Chains A and B, each alone.
Chain A
């Protein structure tokens, strides 16, 4: 059964550094999403992406964040200058029909 994959599973970075979180969505899916879950808090939406552009973004998704689908198979989330409060589990999701979202296993980002 096809799955969403994410790499790395755990990323440790220093404050102020740039990180790129990578996702490989399910191959025939057209809608792509990033969510995050800070420890002890709810899973929260960051951004949705369709037809090579952002379709919706949350207030969290400010100028330090960007997304890209560089090669038709990967979907990346870049955080330009990480802050301590960016430490969280980041989940990628994809959907074929826009109502069933399938999630990857997550990348745990630790900013020190």
Chain B
């Protein structure tokens, strides 16, 4: 079945860039998403990219997609303490189920 894998933990200093990486297996994924979960909160849709794109930039967020290698990354520029959260890499197709990675816990140190 479909699978999404990502590293468990990332520690970064405030002001530095964070890069979270993910790999997925489903070739039919048409959308790749990043969701953010803060402590005690729900899953917040951060950004997404269509599978026919290589890159998407949205303010401090940059998503890179290497479709050949099925590799997705999320770069957060100028990381702030408020960016401390769990980030989920997610694959899906329109109207269909989403397949979640296990989440990367990002800790931003002052």
CA distance A99 to B44 in the complex (A): 14
Q: Are A43 and B31 in contact (CB under 8 A)?
A: no
Residue of B nearest to A104 (CB): B42
Interface residues of A in 56-89 (CB under 8 A from B): 56, 58
Given contacts A43-B43, A91-B43, A105-B41, contact A98 B94 (CB under 8 A): yes
B76-110 interface (Cβ within 8 A of A):
88, 92, 94-103
Q: What is the minimal beta-carbon distance from A64 to any residue of chain B, in angstroms?
A: 19
Evaluate contact between B95 and A50: CB separation under 8 angstroms.
yes
Interface size class of B (residues with CB under 8 A): 20 to 34
Complex Cα distance, B44 from A40, in Å, reads 19
With beta carbons under 8 angstroms apart, the residue of B31, B43, B97 that contacts A103 is B43
Q: Is the CB of B95 within 8 A of A55?
A: yes
- By a CB distance below 8 angstroms, the chain A residues around B45 are 100-103
Q: How many A-B residue pairs have CB under 8 A?
A: 54
Chain A contact-residue range equals 20 to 34
User: How far in angstroms is the closest Cβ of chain B from A107?
Assistant: 11
Chain A residue nearest to B44 in the complex (CB) = A103
Residues of B within 8 A of A (CB): 30-31, 35, 41-45, 48, 88, 92, 94-103
23 contacts between A and B (CB under 8 A): A33-B97, A35-B98, A42-B101, A43-B43, A43-B98, A43-B100, A45-B97, A45-B98, A55-B95, A91-B42, A95-B95, A97-B94, A98-B95, A99-B30, A99-B31, A99-B94, A99-B95, A101-B45, A102-B45, A103-B42, A103-B43, A103-B44, A104-B42
- Given A35-B100, A43-B98, A48-B96, 4 more A-B residue pairs with CB atoms under 8 Å apart are A33-B97, A35-B98, A99-B31, A103-B35
